[in-house]
Amino acid sequence: MIIRFAGTDYGLREARDAMIKKHVNIGMIGYKFMGKAHSHAYKDVQMFFQPALRPVMKVICGRTRAAVTAAAKQYGWESVETDWRILIQRPDIDIVDISSPGHLHRDQAIAAARAKKHVICEKPLANSLAEARGMLRAVKRAGVAHMVMFNYRRIPAVMLAHEMIRDGELGEIYHYRAFYLQDWIVDKRFPLVWRLEKKFAGSGALGDIGSHIIDLAHFLVGEIDEVCSHLKTFVKQRPLPGRKNKLGRVTVDDAAAFLARFRSGVVGSFEATRFATGRKNYHGFEIYGSKGALIFNFEAMNELHFYSCAEKKERQGFRRILVTEASHPYFNAWWPPGHIIGYEHTFVHAIAEFLNCLAAGRPPSPGFEDGVRCQAVLEAVEQSAHARRWVKVSRV
Amino acid sequence: MIIRFAGTDYGLREARDAMIKKHVNIGMIGYKFMGKAHSHAYKDVQMFFQPALRPVMKVICGRTRAAVTAAAKQYGWESVETDWRILIQRPDIDIVDISSPGHLHRDQAIAAARAKKHVICEKPLANSLAEARGMLRAVKRAGVAHMVMFNYRRIPAVMLAHEMIRDGELGEIYHYRAFYLQDWIVDKRFPLVWRLEKKFAGSGALGDIGSHIIDLAHFLVGEIDEVCSHLKTFVKQRPLPGRKNKLGRVTVDDAAAFLARFRSGVVGSFEATRFATGRKNYHGFEIYGSKGALIFNFEAMNELHFYSCAEKKERQGFRRILVTEASHPYFNAWWPPGHIIGYEHTFVHAIAEFLNCLAAGRPPSPGFEDGVRCQAVLEAVEQSAHARRWVKVSRV
Amino acid sequence: MIIRFAGTDYGLREARDAMIKKHVNIGMIGYKFMGKAHSHAYKDVQMFFQPALRPVMKVICGRTRAAVTAAAKQYGWESVETDWRILIQRPDIDIVDISSPGHLHRDQAIAAARAKKHVICEKPLANSLAEARGMLRAVKRAGVAHMVMFNYRRIPAVMLAHEMIRDGELGEIYHYRAFYLQDWIVDKRFPLVWRLEKKFAGSGALGDIGSHIIDLAHFLVGEIDEVCSHLKTFVKQRPLPGRKNKLGRVTVDDAAAFLARFRSGVVGSFEATRFATGRKNYHGFEIYGSKGALIFNFEAMNELHFYSCAEKKERQGFRRILVTEASHPYFNAWWPPGHIIGYEHTFVHAIAEFLNCLAAGRPPSPGFEDGVRCQAVLEAVEQSAHARRWVKVSRV
Amino acid sequence: MIIRFAGTDYGLREARDAMIKKHVNIGMIGYKFMGKAHSHAYKDVQMFFQPALRPVMKVICGRTRAAVTAAAKQYGWESVETDWRILIQRPDIDIVDISSPGHLHRDQAIAAARAKKHVICEKPLANSLAEARGMLRAVKRAGVAHMVMFNYRRIPAVMLAHEMIRDGELGEIYHYRAFYLQDWIVDKRFPLVWRLEKKFAGSGALGDIGSHIIDLAHFLVGEIDEVCSHLKTFVKQRPLPGRKNKLGRVTVDDAAAFLARFRSGVVGSFEATRFATGRKNYHGFEIYGSKGALIFNFEAMNELHFYSCAEKKERQGFRRILVTEASHPYFNAWWPPGHIIGYEHTFVHAIAEFLNCLAAGRPPSPGFEDGVRCQAVLEAVEQSAHARRWVKVSRV
């Protein structure tokens, strides 16, 4: 596969053969929540999108052979590895998909890039800005394609919002209000899983779900210039899994909130929490501009609420657009209007985009630059929380 | 007050004086739920609407002196009567407001008309079509102004819907779906009040709340041509009030439903029930036309949901118009946008309309013709329920 | 595969081998909208549900070789046929899936049953009650498993509603209000497709979408005893596809509405239309009982609204249950709470149910009896529309 | 009227007479938006609440005689004054109601207190914390009753929320999210009214509507300890009213946002803006606690959304409580369930509370202490916006 990408040629015999067959071989690291979501996307993308390159589910990697073997069988992977370094070196692999916890992203991505593999990486890109920058340098140097899995960009309603803002339908933007509210650890007896430990997860609600709302903000209204934040850990100790009556210290935030100023003058507010009782995956935004407004939340992900000042005053109102028309983003691949889609479809869209970009020699989006950009905000938020004042966001 | 009305002069010395002072004297029969709602309207109409004639709360009538005296004091009426025949004959009364149970409407309205009083009557106009026709004949013969209190027409959102349909914003209408769902007698222990007895109430859910949805249908999309119905009494016996362990027979319907065909070709469905657990005053409609649609329900009475085909397909959606702009019907009398109004405001609007029509010599709306029209449908519904087939609605 | 089913043995060598491998081979007729939906279900069911029998996408059938070959490639079928009779006779096929238009169902299902194939058939089961009964006789005689694809039963929220009603959480049921509103042919220029011709489709909105709301009513609150209906065709002529400026006659209903009485005493109303401007796939119900109520609509298919009288009055209200918990029906196969699913998932659930029943020797549900039951109501509705009176529903 | 209040006697002959008659005489300053709202409350409170003291609408004050005379006639005041100092000295006045712009509150309230009048003052209490403190000292020294018109406390749904939190139904509170979004000055041509000038209004969105969300937060979850904010003026120059083509400088904020930490450990976010296109009076909160959550917004002010963890997981969901039951706060004075109320009712409730407290010798709530408490937060927010860091809120 000789694909000219980001100004660089890269090519291996195997890849060339794949190109002839229009196939690319995927090697995926991780097999739990994200592993399942990504696997499904590879499985379904051909049926609904017929991307220019057809993905082959070649190998899946996990540390525990029995578990990863079961996953491979269930999801439909051809083979398994238990050492990600081996997977990355396999000559039959074109694309490495990193669905592992955050502390492993850096090494895996850099190794993959060095092995001339294209890289898809779960978000947040890394556990620190420095790590993320290193990863970006690696993929650029290697000239491989790269994408960070901010799958929420690929919701049809979010894509529509993006197009509407880009085309000026909202006029000058004034306010961006973002939220990502969950409640899965409200119960104090919920155990100290890896997502609650800084050494594995980097941060808590901030990195896990805050990263999504930061990325959508970048996607929709541009870059954040400065932030003022606070972080909060409501429950400071939790049961250690498998160790009866033993508590361990929670080393990440349960909730993060920050005010933001965008480079464009937009004023923003962001909240990410795992302590919003009753909210399951309440992830969304409100955007107010001089000509209109948009409201979205993921729990009703097929709807975009739009207020337009273009109509006469007596007819204005928030309008629930059911984003399921054939002419809406991605939807003609699916079902007739009103037949809604769900969470995993966002991954199918993202993978279709990646494969089509790869075939066309265009950089997939969002790339590692976007991952770095997000990481810079995450870092500024953490700094602000400690300094208790406004902090500038580092430039990419 | 010499007001030329419906082609007839009428005048009394007192009324003439009132005219000079721009005042009209009200005599009201009934002081419970509707008595309170109407009283409040007379009290507030001047402050918000400055109608051409200012109502004076002259006298209120009820059978129990102590109770009606207390009501008069609470609501602000100048005097009381315990015999409605005396009230009607009082020379200082210009307008008789009938807020009594249905079985009394006919005699009271006819007597008032004969005494040359203008008449406002609660809905349904009567307990039968024959009674209603007699009332209409009486007010026409007397040349007095008349209005039936279908207050829901006077909701700003409903008025807006009316204007939109009239102006063709919905195009050709296909479907009219009406519902009025309540739950106040779901509990089997609820007693046998007058509203559950045919001799007082005429019918049950059908006349009480079904009359409202029939009238709104007439108002919004025109006359009903034929109906096919059924009526249902879920709980057939109920405790007699004040008589321990004694049950009495429910002689009216708990629920009524009918299909309808309008003269215009519109297809309709109507449901009125007191057995829709969880619905308190869920009264509304859905209207679908070739160019758009409207949805309304009273529990969110400041909102009208509008779907317009005028926009491009990708931007279409049901739009929640918050009907609180100064340029919306009635609203400039009240508060700034977004400061919602409630149930009793509909009566203020109706009374303002009545007084302004009276001053201008225009027939108020909805008049007794509308009351008769509604009654004709109610009668057809009852006939259909017995005949178990479609029944034509009598012409007014 | 020797599966004892409905009291009958059946077995072929190929099937036995499949059993050993725990595989069953599918032959599907039809490859358009339903063909795509069913194909996807066979593709994904293993990954999410690991049914006791693993489906193999053996052969897909359509009249046009090029088109069906393209579909086979896109969806992942191993081979194609252009004559359904050949498909049905293929010894390697265990299950015949009928996703063709209604006028073909009878012959295909009967032929499949005679060939000892298990049968999955799209809804409505047939174009007449007589046809449907013939199909039921055939599958019973053959002792094969049968299912009619009323996929909406398999929505988690609908399954939850079913369980709640079954367990008495709503108490005695009073009202069942059903609706299925679409708008895809409001435009008069929409052509005369097969779904608008009686000879292919049997009926219009009635059979196509009315059948769904009838089936859900049966599933949720039991059998319908009698109906009173009307049918309406708003646009009587439409452009003939591919024949410029030529119009053809619409021979089916655009809209159907009926009142119903259930055997249990429940009172029902049903509306199915393709002329509800703004409604895309607005399919749902309201159910009111002595202890609570349920509201559902497909456009927000992950939500069930529940009103419970069990709480104290001041805390009662309609509650939006987001039916995405691991302990909700089917959801533990998918994603964490709040990560919603969509339309095609209902087919995955239905196929999983079918395969598990087949393996266990239990009759899948809904079976052809349910298809016949639905057809009996459809027939009664048509008769009532002509007779303009109430009509009893034939017993299965 | 000899009322022992806050430990002090006060009494005038006129007041004593009023006491005998159970009447109190009101003198009101201001006759525009708030003047109208307060007037209506005095007009209606007797009919619906029969407070222990009956208010008499004695005198209304405004600078322009013609305008205030017209207002007096429209609203039903007995007399007018054009100098508030005279009104305050009138011996027949018991209660001074200050509905004037913020820069006048201090002098008027202090003068009223010195004249031994009870004082009701519009919010925010003053234009600075120092002013507010002076006012509080004055009313305390005079021993008069005092109330600041935070009318939104008196919404039935808000009162219900208050009771539920107080009674522990939400458990430990984690998050308080407050918003007050409007859009009335999005249009750049909107003129430079007094509310956009610091010398009259003190601040912009912050004081005008931010004060409401601060007060509700205090009412519902207690005192705010520290804040971090920013203020934004999107449109810096606007047309001067009545001066063609002349622009003047906007000297207040268009939008204010701040993060907060409450003394109790609750984490808060607050946004107030006049630039949220499409939002008319979108004022509300989300409160998340260990046992449940509450959501409210004023545009649907009769609804409170409640999530309770007390039920089993599969039945949990946000429940829309229609706060219109007779057993809900204030509602038994109004209408049957489902017959909603509106904006002006909140003032009726507040006045009823004030009059009943006055009669009973209890301090009305919210008193000037609450006004000072709110002002302290407003001041901290302004300081933080300038200092660009967290700022402690002064203790009352």
What tens digit of pLDDT does each residue of D207-240 get? 999 999 999 999 999 999 999 999 999 999 999 9
Non-local CB neighbours of A21 within 8 Å, separated by 6+ positions: A54
Which of B313, B314, B319 is facing A317, going by the closest CB pair?
Answer: B319
B173/B312 same-domain check:
yes
pLDDT at B5 over 60: no
pLDDT at B95 over 90: yes
| All chains having 3 or more CB pairs closer than 8 angstroms to chain C | A, B, D
Q: What digits encode the pLDDT tens for the residues D328-370?
A: 999 999 999 999 999 999 999 999 999 999 999 999 999 999 9
Distance from CA of D74 to the nearest CA of A (A): 28
Please, which residues bridge with residue B224 across strands? B262
C127: left (phi over 0), alpha (psi -120 to 50) or beta: alpha
pLDDT at C7 over 80: no
- The whole-chain average pLDDT of chain A stands at 94
C180/C327 same-domain check:
yes
Closest CA to A283 of A294, A292, A270, A293: A270
pLDDT of res. B20: 53
Confidence of residue A13 (pLDDT cuts 50, 70, 90): very low
Distance from CA of A201 to the nearest CA of D (A): 23
Q: What is the CA radius of gyration of chain D?
A: 21
B174/B126 same-domain check:
no
| All chains having 3 or more CB pairs closer than 8 angstroms to chain A | B, C, D
Between helix D65-75 and helix B33-49 the angle, nearest 10°, is 170
Which of B160, B313, B322 is facing A327, going by the closest CB pair?
Answer: B313
Confidence of residue B73 (pLDDT cuts 50, 70, 90): very high
- Per-residue pLDDT, averaged over B334-355, amounts to 97
Which of B40, B280, B339 is facing D338, going by the closest CB pair?
Answer: B280
Closest CA to B35 of B120, B135, B155: B120
3 state DSSP class of D288: strand
| Within a domain: D349 | no
In Å, how far from its chain's centre is CA D61? 20
Contact of C314 with chain D, judged by CB distance below 8 Å, is answered with: yes
- Per-residue pLDDT, averaged over C327-343, amounts to 97
pLDDT of res. D244: 84
Confidence of residue B239 (pLDDT cuts 50, 70, 90): very high
pLDDT of res. D21: 56
| Within a domain: C189 | yes
Confidence of residue D182 (pLDDT cuts 50, 70, 90): very high
Residues from chain C contacting residue B234 (CB–CB below 8 Å): 174, 265
Q: What is the sign, positive or negative, of the torsion defined by CA atoms of D370, D372, D377, D381?
A: positive
Contact of C184 with chain A, judged by CB distance below 8 Å, is answered with: yes
- Per-residue pLDDT, averaged over C320-347, amounts to 97
Which of B304, B313, B328 is facing A325, going by the closest CB pair?
Answer: B313
Confidence of residue B21 (pLDDT cuts 50, 70, 90): low
Instruction: Supply the range of the domain harboring residue C166.
Output: 156-300+302-341+373-391
Contact of B282 with chain C, judged by CB distance below 8 Å, is answered with: no
Contact present, D281 and D300 (Cβ < 8 Å): no
Which of B39, B337, B344 is facing D281, going by the closest CB pair?
Answer: B337
Contact present, A106 and A39 (Cβ < 8 Å): no
Q: What digits encode the pLDDT tens for the residues B211-222?
A: 999 999 999 999
D90/D133 same-domain check:
yes
Which tokens is A23 given?
Answer: 């196939």
| Within a domain: C44 | yes
- Per-residue pLDDT, averaged over B18-40, amounts to 88
Which tokens is B251 given?
Answer: 């002689």
B166/B148 same-domain check:
no
What letter represents residue C51's amino acid?
A: P
Interatomic CA distance for residues C237 and C250, integer angstroms = 5
- Per-residue pLDDT, averaged over D101-122, amounts to 97
Q: What is the CATH number of the domain that holds A214?
A: 3.30.360.10
D247/D225 same-domain check:
yes
In Å, how far from its chain's centre is CA C79? 26
Q: What digits encode the pLDDT tens for the residues A258-316?
A: 999 999 999 999 999 999 999 999 999 999 999 999 999 999 999 999 999 999 999 99
Distance from CA of B44 to the nearest CA of D (A): 8
Which tokens is A392 given?
Answer: 């500038």
**Which of C200-209, D18-27, D383-392 shows the lowest per-residue confidence on average (mean pLDDT)?**
D18-27
pLDDT at B100 over 70: yes
pLDDT of res. A20: 52
| Within a domain: D260 | yes
Confidence of residue D22 (pLDDT cuts 50, 70, 90): confident
Interatomic CA distance for residues C284 and B144, integer angstroms = 49
* Cis peptide leading into residue D366 (ω within 30°): yes
Which of D276, D290, D388 is facing A186, going by the closest CB pair?
Answer: D290
φ, ψ at C84 (rounded to 5°): -65, -25
Distance from CA of B289 to the nearest CA of C (A): 6
Q: Please list, residue by residue across A277-307, b when 16 or more beta carbons sit within 10 angstroms of its beta carbon and e when fewer do.
A: bbbbbbbbbbbbbbbbbbbbbbbbbbbbbbb
A255 secondary structure, DSSP code: E
Confidence of residue B7 (pLDDT cuts 50, 70, 90): very low
Distance from CA of D261 to the nearest CA of A (A): 9
Contact of B317 with chain D, judged by CB distance below 8 Å, is answered with: no
Residues from chain D contacting residue A230 (CB–CB below 8 Å): 228, 259, 261, 267
pLDDT of res. A73: 95
Subunit contact D47:B43, Cβ cutoff 8 A: yes
φ, ψ at A27 (rounded to 5°): -120, 125
Contact present, C247 and C239 (Cβ < 8 Å): yes
Nearest CA in chain B to D184: B337
The share of chain B scoring above pLDDT 70, in percent, equals 95
pLDDT of res. A396: 75
A125/A208 same-domain check:
no
Q: How many domains does chain A have?
A: 2
Which of A314, A320, A322 is facing B327, going by the closest CB pair?
Answer: A314
Confidence of residue A198 (pLDDT cuts 50, 70, 90): very high
What CA–CA distances, in Å, run from A386 to A389, C72, D263?
8, 59, 19
Nearest CA in chain C to A337: C280
- Per-residue pLDDT, averaged over B118-147, amounts to 97
| Within a domain: B350 | no
| Within a domain: C67 | yes
Q: Which helix (H) or strand (E) holds C353?
A: helix C345-360
Distance from CA of D4 to the nearest CA of B (A): 28
Nearest CA in chain B to D37: B335
Q: What is the CATH number of the domain that holds A69?
A: 3.40.50.720
Subunit contact D317:C325, Cβ cutoff 8 A: no
Contact of A318 with chain C, judged by CB distance below 8 Å, is answered with: no
Domain boundary among A135, A151, A167: A151
A161: left (phi over 0), alpha (psi -120 to 50) or beta: alpha
Domain boundary among A104, A133, A151: A151
Contact of C278 with chain A, judged by CB distance below 8 Å, is answered with: no
Nearest CA in chain A to C181: A338
Which of B76, B280, B338 is facing D299, going by the closest CB pair?
Answer: B338
Contact of D289 with chain A, judged by CB distance below 8 Å, is answered with: yes
Subunit contact A339:C342, Cβ cutoff 8 A: yes
Give the dihedral of Cα atoms C108, C109, C110, C114; nearest 10 deg: 100
B89/B132 same-domain check:
yes
Which of C269, C279, C290 is facing B186, going by the closest CB pair?
Answer: C290
Nearest CA in chain A to C342: A341
φ, ψ at C155 (rounded to 5°): -75, 130
What CA–CA distances, in Å, run from C366 to C26, C370, D341?
19, 6, 47
Interatomic CA distance for residues A233 and A250, integer angstroms = 8
Contact of A108 with chain C, judged by CB distance below 8 Å, is answered with: no
pLDDT at C20 over 80: no
Subunit contact A321:B315, Cβ cutoff 8 A: yes
- Per-residue pLDDT, averaged over B86-95, amounts to 97
3 state DSSP class of C337: coil
pLDDT of res. B3: 45
- Per-residue pLDDT, averaged over B29-50, amounts to 96
Contact of C330 with chain D, judged by CB distance below 8 Å, is answered with: no
A131/A18 same-domain check:
yes
Contact of D258 with chain A, judged by CB distance below 8 Å, is answered with: yes
What CA–CA distances, in Å, run from B285 to B256, B297, D176?
16, 7, 37
pLDDT of res. A21: 57
Distance from CA of C83 to the nearest CA of B (A): 39
Closest CA to D283 of D185, D365, D215: D215
Domain boundary among D100, D122, D152: D152
| Within a domain: B280 | yes
D82/D171 same-domain check:
no
Q: What digits encode the pLDDT tens for the residues D4-20?
A: 344 344 444 444 444 55
Subunit contact C314:D308, Cβ cutoff 8 A: no
Confidence of residue B262 (pLDDT cuts 50, 70, 90): very high
| Within a domain: B5 | no
Query: Best of B343, B346, B349 to disrupt the D interface by mutation (most D CBs within 10 Å)?
Result: B343
A161/A295 same-domain check:
yes
Max CA pair span of chain A: 66
Residues from chain D contacting residue B282 (CB–CB below 8 Å): 338
Residues from chain D contacting residue B298 (CB–CB below 8 Å): 338, 340
Distance from CA of D340 to the nearest CA of C (A): 15
Distance from CA of B323 to the nearest CA of A (A): 8
Contact of D190 with chain B, judged by CB distance below 8 Å, is answered with: no
Which of B47, B184, B341 is facing D43, going by the closest CB pair?
Answer: B47
Distance from CA of B26 to the nearest CA of A (A): 36
What CA–CA distances, in Å, run from D99 to A83, D62, D65, D102, D203?
74, 10, 17, 9, 17
Which tokens is D18 given?
Answer: 């009023």
Which of D338, D342, D345 is facing B299, going by the closest CB pair?
Answer: D338
Residues from chain C contacting residue D313 (CB–CB below 8 Å): 325, 327
- How far the first Cα of chain B sits from its last, in Å, is 31
Nearest CA in chain D to B70: D47
- Per-residue pLDDT, averaged over D44-68, amounts to 96
- The whole-chain average pLDDT of chain C stands at 94
Which tokens is D171 given?
Answer: 């458990």
Exposure on the CB side of residue C54, measured as CA atoms within 13 A: 14
Q: What digits encode the pLDDT tens for the residues A84-143?
A: 999 999 999 999 999 999 999 999 999 999 999 999 999 999 999 999 999 999 999 999
Distance from CA of A32 to the nearest CA of B (A): 37
D36/D99 same-domain check:
yes
pLDDT of res. D3: 45
Contact present, C85 and C75 (Cβ < 8 Å): no
Contact of B46 with chain D, judged by CB distance below 8 Å, is answered with: yes
pLDDT of res. C382: 97
Nearest CA in chain A to D177: A271
pLDDT of res. C1: 41
